[in-house]
């Protein structure tokens, strides 16, 4: 019975799916640091995490039984994907399941900041009646600038247009504009055009520090700023200065460079206490609907990988979509992508009198993944011959 360790309060749907599939499931609240995680992974085949638990190369090296990591979130920058691939550990995430939740909180933040609702709310709770239209605007007719036009950015683009906003976007990759959205040739062009600037970039290391004092200075006076993507892409000290000077009229921030590991831990930020600044604890994608969808999606991917060898939508291994074949025995072989591997596999099987029923190969950069279905039980000598080759990374037998 394989063991699954689920951390960070994953949705119960994930546990239910894995237990139904025959897993022994262990759950823990909160994230674990490196030492705690290494100790907890002894004898564990499946690890489920969200964004707070870091799966380093050291953790992977100390967990020889680990076969798959499920990231129950969008981002995977908390996992050393290269080290995981080198050890044959598949990584799956949920790239689409919470996009609607992030888009909806972005819309809510845009309206709240543009109407200065946080300022009015604070004054009212302090007993101050300040009925005034000063600084409050409709979003209709204003321009939204989206930096990062991926799954979230494109959906936000459509909803913002439905509210009567004009949409411009900037992305380093070529993207098809939806509706009446217009692509900007440069980031500076977007910043000089938009009344609202929102970041929806991914967690690649090259995005670190991409938005700082220079970018805030290029924004239109009185514009508002949102970061619902990654904490390390923004210089928050520069954002503080831009808000205090009045150049930026307000901001909404959901992600931070350093975040508490557990619920109830203290939170520190230079953005605390600023006027018309909305701070949320990395909950952009945290709705009950999104968490249930993520729990179901990632748990099914993990289950299918261990049962069939399928790597469809894995973020670090060659992708093969595979079905269960009850009439066959399966060899799932991850290896270095070097010439002659397929011929070696087939020659080894032929030497041992094994007939091939079906075979699929996929490559991804330095990696190759061959899945071979055979009609007879596989001789241990075949396993020994293939697993012992220098290009071998991981070999699994699935029946």
Can 305 be counted among the known catalytic residues? no
Contacting residues for 221 by C-beta, under 8 A, at least 6 apart = 246, 247
For residue 326, report the phi and psi dihedrals to the nearest 5 degrees: -65, -20
Q: Categorise residue 88: left if φ over 0, alpha if ψ from -120 to 50, beta otherwise.
A: left
Residue 177: burial class (beta carbons within 10 Å; 0-12, 13-18, 19+): middle
| Annotated catalytic residue, options 230, 305, 330, 335 | 230
CB atoms within 10 A of CB 364: 15
| Annotated catalytic residue, options 50, 142, 200, 282 | 282
Can 230 be counted among the known catalytic residues? yes
Instruction: Look up residue 234 and give its two tokens.
Output: 């923004």
| Annotated catalytic residue, options 34, 192, 259, 391 | 259
Residue 135: name the closest of 195, 205, 73, 46 by CA: 195
Can 259 be counted among the known catalytic residues? yes
Contact, 43 vs 63, CB < 8 A? no
- For the four alpha carbons of 214, 215, 221 and 224, in that order, the dihedral sign comes to negative
Which residues are marked as active site?
230, 259, 282
């Amino acid at each position: 019975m394989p063991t699954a360790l689920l951390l960070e309060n994953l949705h119960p749907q994930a546990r239910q799916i894995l237990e139904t599939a025959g897993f022994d499931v262990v759950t823990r609240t909160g994230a674990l640091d490196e030492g705690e995680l290494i100790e907890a992974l002894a004898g564990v085949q499946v690890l489920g995490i969200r964004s707070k638990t870091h799966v380093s190369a050291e953790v992977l090296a100390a967990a020889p039984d680990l076969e798959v990591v499920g990231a129950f979130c969008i981002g995977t920058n908390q996992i050393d994907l290269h080290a995981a691939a080198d050890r044959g550990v598949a990584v799956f995430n949920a790239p689409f399941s919470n996009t609607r939740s992030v888009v909806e909180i972005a819309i809510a933040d845009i309206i709240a900041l543009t109407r200065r609702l946080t300022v009015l709310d604070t004054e009212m709770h302090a007993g101050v009646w300040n009925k005034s239209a000063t600084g409050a605007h409709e979003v209709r007719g204003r321009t939204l600038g989206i930096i990062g036009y991926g799954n979230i950015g494109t959906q936000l683009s459509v909803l913002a247009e439905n509210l009567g906003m004009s949409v411009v976007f900037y992305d380093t990759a070529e993207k098809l504009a939806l509706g009446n959205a217009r692509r900007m040739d440069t980031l500076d062009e977007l910043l000089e055009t938009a009344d609202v600037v929102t970041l929806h970039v991914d967690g690649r290391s090259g995005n670190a520090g991409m938005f700082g004092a220079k970018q805030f200075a290029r924004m239109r006076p009185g514009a508002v700023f949102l970061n619902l993507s990654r904490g390390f892409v923004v210089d928050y000290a520069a954002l503080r200065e831009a808000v205090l000077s009045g150049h930026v009229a307000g901001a909404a921030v959901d992600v931070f460079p350093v975040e508490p590991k557990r619920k109830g831990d203290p939170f520190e930020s230079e953005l605390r206490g600023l006027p018309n600044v909305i701070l949320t604890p990395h909950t952009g994608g945290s709705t009950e609907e999104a968490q249930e969808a993520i729990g179901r999606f990632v748990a099914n991917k993990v289950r299918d990988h261990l049962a069939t060898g399928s790597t469809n939508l894995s973020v670090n291994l060659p992708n093969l979509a595979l079905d269960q074949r009850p009439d066959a025995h399966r060899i799932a072989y991850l290896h270095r992508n070097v010439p002659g591997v397929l011929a070696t596999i087939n020659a080894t099987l032929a030497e041992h009198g094994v007939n091939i029923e079906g075979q699929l190969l996929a490559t991804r950069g330095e990696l190759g993944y061959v899945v071979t279905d055979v009609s007879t039980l596989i001789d241990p000598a075949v396993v020994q011959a293939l697993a012992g080759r220098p290009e071998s990374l991981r070999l699994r037998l699935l029946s």
